[in-house]
Amino acid sequence: MINKGDKIPEVNLVKATADGPEQVASSDYFAGKKVALFSVPGAFTPTCSAKHLPGYVEKAAELKAKGVDEIACTAVNDAFVMGAWNNAAGSEDITMLADGNGEFAKAVGLTMDGSGFGMGTRGQRFSMIVNDGVVEEVNVEAPGDFKVSAAEYMLDQL
């Protein structure tokens, strides 16, 4: 599992934009800025939609006031689903980074088996503060929990 002080691994993600999916290398995306990154098991899933994404939407200005340049959400979903979820429940303050093949989740060592729910391999629920590609904080939830990956918890870390 990725730890504080580790560099974000080199993988390709797909950024959901108004103009459609845009390929982005993790090294390029995280370079030169402080990113509040949170990962959800799936767009449109109950806790993710009712609590996780709304918390970051609500606290976006406070996160940015504490030095965060960008807020990003990742999930093992395609860019079209991530874009639709952001349009339905997110905001322009959140960048959706699709990890459609689960390569990012695997590279950071934070996958989970959601096959019992028909979801296959997914990313765990977690958050990170990444500064110029280096992990400053990493918060991984216990299965079924929603505490340490919340926007409020991250605000206390900044």
In the numeric block, which tokens belong to residue 67? 């030095």
Residue tagged active-site, from 13, 35, 43, 48: 48
Starting at the edge strand that comes first in sequence, how are the strands of the sheet with 12-17 ordered? 20-25, 12-17, 94-98, 70-75, 34-39, 126-131, 134-140
Q: What are φ and ψ of residue 109, in 5° steps?
A: 75, 30
Q: What share of the chain is helix, strand, coil (3-state, %, to 5)?
A: 30, 30, 35
The dihedral formed by the CA atoms of 155, 136, 53 and 121, expressed in degrees to the nearest 10: -150
In the numeric block, which tokens belong to residue 55? 């918390």
Can 48 be counted among the known catalytic residues? yes
Q: Which residues are annotated as catalytic?
A: 48
